[in-house]
Amino acid sequence: MLYFSKFRIILVISISLFFILIASSNLFKFENDLLNKKINLGLDLQGGSYLLLEIDNNPVIEQKIQNLSITIRNYFKDRNIRIKNLKILEQKLSFSVNENYKQIVLDTFNDEESELNPYYPRFKSHQLDITEEDNIFFVNYSTQGIVKLKTSSQDQALEIVRRRIDEIGTNEPNILKRGNDRILVELPGLDDPMRIKSLLGKTANLTFRFVTNNDQDSFGAEKLSYEDESEEAALVSKRIILSGDNLLDAQPRMDSETNETVVTFTLDRVGAKRFGKATSTGIGKQLAIVLDGKIISAPVIRDTIASGSGQISGGFTFQSATDLALLLRSGALPAPLNIIEERTVGPDLGQDSINAGMIALAIGFLLVIVFIFVKYKIFGLITNITLIVNLFLLIGILTIFEATLTLPGIAGIILTVGMAVDANVLIFERIKEELKDEKNNLIAFDSGYTKSRTAIFDANITTLLAAIILFFMGSGPIKGFSLTLGIGIFTTLFSVYFIARLLTVLYVYRNKEKEGLI
């Protein structure tokens, strides 16, 4: 255990120097790409927002079921089968057919190549499940159908969330899928988390619909209240003249005539045509601008608008007009998003945490170093040098992988400092014991290293196991803790078996004859 070849010595020294260099790149700027890496600071240290959003897919499913009812009716109508008693029951459809057609309906749904009920060739499971009870058919989404629906609405929502966040221009946002109905958003260094929350919380489903005064409207009508509650709720037709999909652009503006903040919009070709037609036939009528089920305003149409652009007024402040324009530009979410977890840290608290963490690290380090030096003298010095290199190795590895350092992560580093001496202590204590019977320093040191090996191995494996479990089970900050703790075990073993042993060997060879060496 005591022999080191020249090559090994050079290797150990160069590895150590390399990591010291890498670790120090956090403090200095290097031109070289390899060296110009930095540890990322977690949101708890640099300040920022962590938001976990959950997509509420129920409205999507209900909408799809509604569309499906029309598809089914038309499909069978083309085949001269009349669908009777078609009902929509939340996330299910029910209908009945003539006794003679029952088998045909069932076969249509269960056919592997079915047009009406796809997916089978690809997923070995249909999109829809059909059951029959007392002559009534029930159709609902199969497990596979729900999964597809969820992933597709998640994809769309992710895209919209990304656009909205990009519009605000936060630096390096992290937007990730979680499961099949969640989206994780990490926004470092955010000034105003409330604004982003309110922007993400809005579906931004915009429609232009006529206000009507009879509920016998052929498309149906619904009573909607005003956003600012300035007027009584109004009856609005369900017929959609225009939707947010037809918008090409939206911008906040100051109306020079009324001195009011408005949102101007430009429509695409289809939208412009429809808008022109509606405004020409509907002169004198009120056109309600509805956002997420609330009326923003309902101006009376005075003229035909054929230009394909217009403006929305509604008592906006400049901020609210800017936000509405942003929402309209980035598009509507396929389904409402709920913020189910939020963690926001202000930048000054983050800085305070960094300072506290660094002070704790410095003091903890100093206490350990002084204690070990007093206890082991020259070998204490060796341990302490090892400890310092160990710290550089740990920080160097975190830097190479550009890992994220969190406050618990700093705690993990401090804890590593405290526990890292364990291996050296085990070795030195063992050597002391060996020296009681063995007068030859070299033999005693050699067997001290050999005999302590299993205990050191066992001891570190247990901590490593705990760190690995934490890494896979923990979230955010806790992951940071397990990361530093886990990497710390490897750097500790390296520094103990290569650096500390090298230094010990060099010292022992020079003092072979000396008694009471340790």
Partner 1 sequence: MIAFNKYYNQFNILSISLVVISLFLLIFKGLNFGIDFKGGTLIELRSTDNKINVSSLRDNLNSMNLGDVSVKNFGNETDFLIKFEINNNKNIIEQIKANLDKSFGNTFDFRRVENVGPKVSAELLKSGVIAIAVALTLMLIYIWIRFEWQFSLGAILALFHDVLVTLGLFSLLGLEINLSIIAAVLTIVGYSMNDTVVIFDRVRENLRKYSDIKIYDLTNISINETLSRTLITSITTLLALLSIFFFGGEILKGFSLAMIFGVIFGTYSSIYIANTVLVRLRVSQKTVLRDDKSN
Residue 435: left if φ>0, alpha if ψ -120 to 50, beta else—which one? Answer: alpha
Is 176 a binder of partner 1 (CB under 8 A)?
Answer: no
Which of 170, 171, 200 is closest to 184 using CA atoms?
A: 200
Measured distance CA(167)–CA(251) in Å, rounded:
12
Is 189 a binder of partner 1 (CB under 8 A)?
Answer: no
Q: Is 422 exposed, middle or buried (0-12, 13-18, 19+ CB in 10 A)?
A: middle
Report in angstroms the alpha-carbon separations of 60 from 1, 150, 175, 467.
Answer: 68, 9, 22, 41
Is 381 a binder of partner 1 (CB under 8 A)?
Answer: no
Q: Which of 240, 260, 364, 381 binds partner 1 (CB under 8 A)?
A: 364
Q: Show the CA angle centred on residue 227, arms to residues 243 and 266, nearest 5°.
A: 30
Q: Beta-strand (E) ranges in 90-205?
A: 92-96, 128-133, 136-141, 174-178, 182-188
Q: Which of 233, 254, 356, 506 binds partner 1 (CB under 8 A)?
A: 356
Is 422 a binder of partner 1 (CB under 8 A)?
Answer: yes
Nearer to partner 1, 300 or 340 (CB): 340
Ramachandran angles phi, psi of 263, nearest 5°: -115, 120
Tell me the per-residue interface mask from 54 to 93 with partner 1, x by CB under 8 A, - otherwise: x---------------------------------------
For residue 362, the minimal CB distance to partner 1 (Å) is: 8
CB neighbours of 231 closer than 8 A, spacing ≥ 6? none
Nearer to partner 1, 178 or 514 (CB): 178
Is 44 a binder of partner 1 (CB under 8 A)?
Answer: yes
Token digits of residue 452: 């302590």
Is 493 a binder of partner 1 (CB under 8 A)?
Answer: no
Q: Contact 10/372 with Cβ under 8 angstroms?
A: no
Token digits of residue 388: 């310092």
Nearer to partner 1, 270 or 461 (CB): 461
Report in angstroms the alpha-carbon separations of 354 from 26, 176, 396.
Answer: 14, 26, 18
Is 372 a binder of partner 1 (CB under 8 A)?
Answer: yes
Residue 106: how many CB atoms within 10 A of its CB? 14
Q: Which of 339, 442, 443, 506 binds partner 1 (CB under 8 A)?
A: 339
The DSSP call for residue 300 is B
Is 293 a binder of partner 1 (CB under 8 A)?
Answer: no
Is 443 a binder of partner 1 (CB under 8 A)?
Answer: no
For residue 416, the minimal CB distance to partner 1 (Å) is: 8
Nearer to partner 1, 64 or 294 (CB): 294
Residues from 444 through 483 that contact partner 1 (CB under 8 A): 454-455, 458-467, 469-470, 473-475, 477-478, 481-482
Is 359 a binder of partner 1 (CB under 8 A)?
Answer: yes
Nearer to partner 1, 1 or 211 (CB): 1
Nearer to partner 1, 236 or 427 (CB): 427
Instruction: Say how many residues make up the chain.
Output: 518
Nearer to partner 1, 473 or 506 (CB): 473
Q: If you write DSSP's letter for every residue of 80-114 in order, what string do you get?
A: T---EEEEEETTEEEEE--GGGHHHHHHHHH-TT-
Binding window for partner 1 (CB under 8 A); candidates: 1-9, 121-129, 246-254, 408-416: 408-416
Binding window for partner 1 (CB under 8 A); candidates: 211-219, 244-252, 317-325, 409-417: 409-417
| Alpha-carbon torsion angle 441, 445, 450, 451, nearest 10 | 90
Measured distance CA(311)–CA(299) in Å, rounded:
10
Is 346 a binder of partner 1 (CB under 8 A)?
Answer: yes
Q: How many residues bind partner 1 (CB under 8 A)?
A: 69
Q: Which of 60, 421, 496, 518 binds partner 1 (CB under 8 A)?
A: 421
Ramachandran angles phi, psi of 352, nearest 5°: -60, -40
Q: Which of 363, 442, 443, 506 binds partner 1 (CB under 8 A)?
A: 363
Is 429 a binder of partner 1 (CB under 8 A)?
Answer: yes
Binding window for partner 1 (CB under 8 A); candidates: 15-23, 59-67, 133-141, 336-344: 336-344
Task: Tell me the β-bridge partners of 187.
Answer: 49
Which of 425, 420, 429, 418 is closest to 366 using CA atoms?
A: 418
Give the residues lining the site for partner 1 (CB under 8 A): 44, 52, 54, 193-194, 198, 201, 338-346, 348-349, 352-353, 356-357, 359-361, 363-364, 367-368, 371-372, 375, 407-408, 410-411, 414-415, 417-419, 421-422, 425-426, 429, 433, 454-455, 458-467, 469-470, 473-475, 477-478, 481-482, 485
